[in-house]
Amino acid sequence: MASDASSVLENVLTGMAGLFGVDGAALMLLDAQDRLRAIGATDDDGVLLESAQEYVGDGPAIASAASGGLVAIQDLHADRPLGFPHVAVHALPVRAVLSVPLVEGGELIGVLDFYARAGHVWDRTEVEAGYRLGELMVIVLQVLAENRTDRAPSGQL
């Protein structure tokens, strides 16, 4: 089932990136210690972005999780507070990032990142689309969790 869930998440992320018209999408979820962990991405650039944020302990996804709000970065390579150059050096060639907090039942569960390889100003309609796709990702994660629970042997997840 784990590989099935990974495949579903990869397909959903790829579909969301295509629908949104960006170069890629990536997902980080909170672990048992409330740290964001990379779960999946549409490509190697997304994996680098999420891994860099985990490694550095900072970045748009981590800022989004900390604030509970959306973080829109036009150029990751820009000086702080407009960018995260210490993340960018590990996440080439990602330039622009839109980090959307994922909330289930009032609790933060993770962050969905959309990214572009060129600098990009995220407009109001893109921000709204990001929030809507984040809501959809929460539903996908709920269904995957329910399917995992339904198929687990008695007393096991």
Average pLDDT over residues 26-36: 96
pLDDT over 90 at 154, yes or no: no
Q: What is the reported pLDDT for 5?
A: 87
Task: Return the residue matching tokens 């820009």.
Answer: 78
Which residues pair with residue 26 across a beta bridge?
Answer: 41, 113
Q: Which of 33, 38, 74 is nearest to 55 (CA)?
A: 38
- Measured distance CA(8)–CA(25) in Å, rounded: 14
CB 61 within 8 A of CB 87: no
Q: How would residue 140 be classed by pLDDT, with cut points 50, 70 and 90?
A: very high
Give Cα 129 distance to the centre of its chain. 14
Q: Which of 43-52, 63-72, 119-128, 142-151 has the lowest mean pLDDT?
A: 142-151
Q: What is the reported pLDDT for 156?
A: 43
Q: What is the reported pLDDT for 149?
A: 73
Q: Helix or strand or coil: residue 81?
A: coil
- What DSSP state is assigned to residue 79? P
35-74: burial string, b at 16+ Cβ within 10 Å, e else = ebbbbbbbbebbbbbbbbbbebeebbbbbbbeeeebbbbb
Q: How would residue 15 be classed by pLDDT, with cut points 50, 70 and 90?
A: very high
pLDDT over 50 at 155, yes or no: no
pTM of the model as a whole: 0.92
